[in-house]
Amino acid sequence: MLEEKLDALAQRMAEHMARPFPPGCRGLSVESQDMVLLDADAYGLVAGVHEGALGERHREGLARLAPVFAKVLPAIEDEYAAEYYTHVRDMTALAAEIESLREK
């Protein structure tokens, strides 16, 4: 089960890297969240999960992303940007699920 989820995560990461970053989000802050940093932080944590178990600090960072996305996503007006960040949110949720499985 863990291997299947890791494969799914790898697929989502590849899809993410193939998508262009929403140009309107460069330098944009939504709900006090820098959108470039949100993307970079999320992908970095997801990549860490894909490589192996995260340390406590990074697990906490991953857990903090869910409420950030819950606040930011409804405030994104651009359709492509909303789709892009929904994909990032889903990718981080899968990474958090993988981390949870590893802790058991």
Taking only the tens of pLDDT, the chain with its 104 residues reads 899 999 999 999 999 999 999 999 999 999 999 999 999 999 999 999 999 988 999 999 999 999 999 999 999 999 999 999 999 999 999 999 999 998 76
The pLDDT, as a whole number, for residue 53 is 85
The pLDDT, as a whole number, for residue 63 is 94
Domain that holds residue 33: 2-103
The pLDDT, as a whole number, for residue 50 is 96
The pLDDT, as a whole number, for residue 103 is 79
The pLDDT, as a whole number, for residue 65 is 97
The pLDDT, as a whole number, for residue 91 is 98
Prediction pTM value:
0.94
Cα(80)–Cα(99) distance, rounded to whole angstroms?
29
If one counts the domains in the chain, the total is 1
Q: What's at 1, amino acid-wise?
A: M
DSSP states of the chain: -HHHHHHHHHHHHHHHHHSPP-GGGTT-EETTEEHHHHHHHHHHHHHHHHHSPPPHHHHHHHHHHHHHHHHHGGG---HHHHHHHHHHHHHHHHHHHHHHHHH-
> Given CA atoms 71, 11, 25, 99 in this order, what sign does their dihedral have?
positive
